[in-house]
Structure 1
Amino acid sequence: MKTFPSKTLSAVMLCTLGLAPAARAADVNNWPIKYTTGDGTEWALYGNYQYDWMDVRHSDTIEDSHTNRRKEFGFTAKKKGEWDALVYFDFQSRQWLDVYWRMETKWLFGQDYGKLRFGYSKLPVGFEGVTSARNDSFVEIALPLQAIYETRRTGVDWAYERPTYLVNVGYYFGEDLQGDNDGTTVAARAAWTPLKQEGEVVHLGLSASIENPDGTTDGRGVYHSPSARWRSRPEVGLTTVRLIDSGSLTHVDSNRRLGFEGLWIHGPLSFQGEYLQAQTKRTDGLADYTADGYYVFGSYVLTGESRPYTAGNVANIKPRGPWGAVELLLRYSALDLDDGKVRGGREHDLTFGANWYLTQHFKFQANYVKAHSTHLGKRQDPDVFELRAQVYF
């Protein structure tokens, strides 16, 4: 078993102990990362750095690890009431994240019909999926999101929000910015929000999408039919091991995703959950395939703050006291990849979490994951302890 390097641990401890008094002595939330030009355009740096460490027990396939999880950096530009833009890249995974330009329809047409966005962005099916990685309540997203969420594509989408509801519709016609995942996707999300104010939120949503992947032709001129694969890590990010995996499904006509989501925030207490289903429609007489899963979690902020909510999404807690905010969490998730002759396996995880929001820019997380999986007759039940130190702005 690998041990947590003493130099890294010392650095984290010094950072923690040093920043807490600073939070009392100065406004550490007011970072000089914004600049406004004479015409009112606001430019700002945008970043998220995460360092993870994990200790694994009862597993012969997943190894202990510690390294950078994310090194995301970019910039935003915004002209209030008119438009905003974001360019964002992860230097750890070497992948583009959001790259888009979004416009207010009131600026374009003189009447508010919502917002139009062009570029590369997340698809709307999956509540935890559309949540920014900088705002994740747990160290890693739940099992069904890892398997089913479609991540980002190039296209155009429209978002319309009113006090008691919101709608988001998009058409994505381009591959991702890494040059993969050719094809098209039509996606939509709608939510009813009868209660939407600080510390008091009710959100009930429905989302769906139809993806039509394209086949590829290799350098030898051989055509490969569209394929799909559904799999999930055991809610840990520092491993490539998947305990359950459908394997590659060939001759795919379409992938259809469906999601139901819910959120309730009442002061420091909140509950969140969703159900996700993916259907792969296949050609050449091959049987269709269905995968599904769900999660539910509860959160309680010991220091009294509430989870922020805006535009159909949640964000990091903003601490009120000099020593930050402390949050305790419990999540149960399940994923079923067995269907017909495809025996992808089944898994359910129980995760205990604790978050310390030291300031609006520093966050520390601890998770204990108890995983249970069965795949092709083999059972694996690893225990994983995860720690994360995060800086975001």
Structure 2
Amino acid sequence: MKLWTPRLLALAVSAALAGSAQAEIAIDVINGSEISLEGLMQADGNWFDNDVADLNAASPVGNDGKDSEFDMRRAEVILKGKGGRFDWTAGYDGKANKWLDANIKWKLGTNYVLAGQYKQPNSLEELTSTRHNDFIAKAMVTNLFGVARRVGVAYGDDSQNFGYQISYFGRELTRNLNQGQGFGGRVYFAPMAETGNILHFGLSAVDFDTDADTARPRVRPDADQATIRLVDTGNILNADRQRTYGLEGLWVGGPLKVQGEYMRSRVTRTTNQQEWSGDSWYVYGVYNLTGETWGYKAGLPTTNLPDNPSSGMWQLGLRYDATDLNDGAILGGKEDNLTLGVNWYWRSNFKFMLNYVKVNSSKYVSSLRAELDDNPNILEARAQFYW
């Protein structure tokens, strides 16, 4: 895979640049199915102003221990077919060497049956397309409790103002990644669902078997390239199942979007040992300085193209997110982060992002017999090309 992925990406980039800027490359129509190619490439840089822990400590994955880290974040190629009663998709990330969405959808009006690998229905931010995430790193709650892609089968309905999905799932398609059979569901209601005027509410729940009877809730400090987690429960042994409930809300008024989520998760155990519960949440606002707004489709916000492609679309964003992993004798720690972001969408294939993250964390350290505060600062940048 490593040998041919760069060549495939180079060909896809050349094809996209050769024509007019667009969201996808049309390939052919076969038996009424429109075949297209999509792609996403992201290159990230992180600069760490450490407090106590070395957030970029040397690791086997290539981090060199310096105060800055640069790497390709994603290199995705996705083949899609749309038309008639069936839609299908097959995607692969050449950077992570893993399968993305690989599924087929049988459309029954607004209802559908979905089979294969797909994102599970329990996180508004995770379900939103990665290319249009409003901040470089997803919020802590998403990285902690979002189940993301698993192989399974689902049934749902996506009308304009109301929808739901119920899902049964197993492991990831790529070997040696996330495992554990379970089920989940999400329901949403949007009393206002017009472009530029959106009000959305949602509820979700997932319940799954823990992998190897062990659970370990932990999360990076809103920095994808950090090797250290400032909050970490450690291994919770004899874990049986993990169940997570989520609340989500979204409001769009013209050029302003406000979004938030709350999740609470519980790990049950096969013995009489203490169970564990923790929670996490975020709220953020994004303002389009150039006046554009957002659309809405199938229970998710959609990002519009710049009104003026040559000057692009400029956004300002502010996010607050918090996590509490302390429960009884399991002291995973607390963390709250403030993220300030600037995004520039240029034409319809390029996006540039700059984030500043102020981290505040506290965790009990047994060797000190005391709480240890660790409050670093992080600067992040991303260059993105997509089609």
Q: What CA distance in whole angstroms lies between the structure 2 residues aligned with 1:113 and 1:345?
A: 44
Q: What CA distance in whole angstroms lies between the structure 2 residues aligned with 1:171 and 1:323?
A: 45
Any idea what SS the aligned residue of 1:37 has?
A: strand
> Which position in structure 2 is the counterpart of 1:311?
298
> Which position in structure 2 is the counterpart of 1:159?
156
Q: For 1:99, which of 93, 98, 102 is the aligned residue?
A: 102
Deviations 1:20-77 (A, max 9, x none): xxx9xx9842477102326322111111100111211134412311111111112111
Q: What CA distance in whole angstroms lies between the structure 1 residues aligned with 2:220 and 2:136?
A: 13
Amino acid across the alignment from 2:54: T
Q: What CA distance in whole angstroms lies between the structure 1 residues aligned with 2:356 and 2:169?
A: 37
Q: What CA distance in whole angstroms lies between the structure 2 residues aligned with 1:293 and 1:262?
A: 15
> Which position in structure 2 is the counterpart of 1:8?
none
Deviations 1:91-119 (A, max 9, x none): 111121111111112xxxxxx36011100
Shift, 1:265, TM fit = 0.5
Tell me, which stretches of 5 or more residues in structure 2 are unaligned?
1-16, 56-66, 365-370
Contact 1:175 1:183 in 2 (8 A): no
Question: How many residues of Structure 1 are paired with residues of Structure 2 in the alignment?
Answer: 352
Q: What CA distance in whole angstroms lies between the structure 1 residues aligned with 2:160 and 2:296?
A: 13
Q: What CA distance in whole angstroms lies between the structure 2 residues aligned with 1:38 and 1:183?
A: 37
> Which position in structure 2 is the counterpart of 1:320?
307
> Which position in structure 1 is the counterpart of 2:257?
270
> Which position in structure 2 is the counterpart of 1:47?
39
Q: TM-score when scaled to structure 2?
A: 0.87
> Which position in structure 2 is the counterpart of 1:287?
274
> Which position in structure 2 is the counterpart of 1:358?
346
Shift, 1:260, TM fit = 0.2
Residue 374 to residue 121, structure 1, CA distance change in 2 (3 Å) = same
Residue 42 to residue 246, structure 1, CA distance change in 2 (3 Å) = same
Any idea what SS the aligned residue of 1:237 has?
A: coil
Contact 2:27 2:37 in 1 (8 A): no
Contact 2:24 2:38 in 1 (8 A): no
Contact 2:293 2:303 in 1 (8 A): no
Tell me, which stretches of 5 or more residues in structure 1 are unaligned?
1-22, 106-111, 216-225
- 1:167-182 paired onto structure 2 within 5 Å: 167-182=164-179
Any idea what SS the aligned residue of 2:236 has?
A: coil
Any idea what SS the aligned residue of 2:136 has?
A: coil
Q: What CA distance in whole angstroms lies between the structure 2 residues aligned with 1:363 and 1:287?
A: 46
Q: CA RMSD in A?
A: 1.8
Contact 1:349 1:370 in 2 (8 A): yes
Q: What CA distance in whole angstroms lies between the structure 2 residues aligned with 1:384 and 1:148?
A: 23
Any idea what SS the aligned residue of 1:319 has?
A: coil
> Which position in structure 1 is the counterpart of 2:182?
185
> Which position in structure 2 is the counterpart of 1:149?
146
> Which position in structure 2 is the counterpart of 1:56?
48
Shift, 1:140, TM fit = 0.6
Aligned: 1:68 with 2:61: no
Deviations 1:354-373 (A, max 9, x none): 11010221101110000111
Residue 43 to residue 244, structure 1, CA distance change in 2 (3 Å) = same
> Which position in structure 2 is the counterpart of 1:108?
none
Q: What CA distance in whole angstroms lies between the structure 2 residues aligned with 1:171 and 1:184?
A: 8
Identity, in percent, stands at 33
Shift, 1:175, TM fit = 4.5
Shift, 1:310, TM fit = 1.2
> Which position in structure 1 is the counterpart of 2:8?
none
- 1:335-374 paired onto structure 2 within 5 Å: 335-374=323-362
Q: For 1:384, which of 354, 378, 382 is the aligned residue?
A: 378
Contact 1:281 1:289 in 2 (8 A): yes
Residue 361 to residue 175, structure 1, CA distance change in 2 (3 Å) = closer
Any idea what SS the aligned residue of 2:163 has?
A: strand
Any idea what SS the aligned residue of 1:274 has?
A: strand
Q: What CA distance in whole angstroms lies between the structure 1 residues aligned with 2:78 and 2:19?
A: 24
> Which position in structure 1 is the counterpart of 2:215?
228
Any idea what SS the aligned residue of 1:308 has?
A: strand
Contact 2:120 2:147 in 1 (8 A): yes
> Which position in structure 2 is the counterpart of 1:210?
207
Deviations 1:131-185 (A, max 9, x none): 2221211001001111111121110012202232111111113444224433311
Contact 1:44 1:77 in 2 (8 A): yes
Q: What CA distance in whole angstroms lies between the structure 2 residues aligned with 1:145 and 1:31?
A: 26
Residue 38 to residue 295, structure 1, CA distance change in 2 (3 Å) = closer
Contact 1:135 1:314 in 2 (8 A): no
Any idea what SS the aligned residue of 1:178 has?
A: coil
Contact 2:284 2:318 in 1 (8 A): yes
Q: What CA distance in whole angstroms lies between the structure 2 residues aligned with 1:268 and 1:285?
A: 52
Contact 1:253 1:280 in 2 (8 A): yes
Any idea what SS the aligned residue of 1:315 has?
A: strand
Deviations 1:341-393 (A, max 9, x none): 10000000000011101022110111000011111222111111111110111
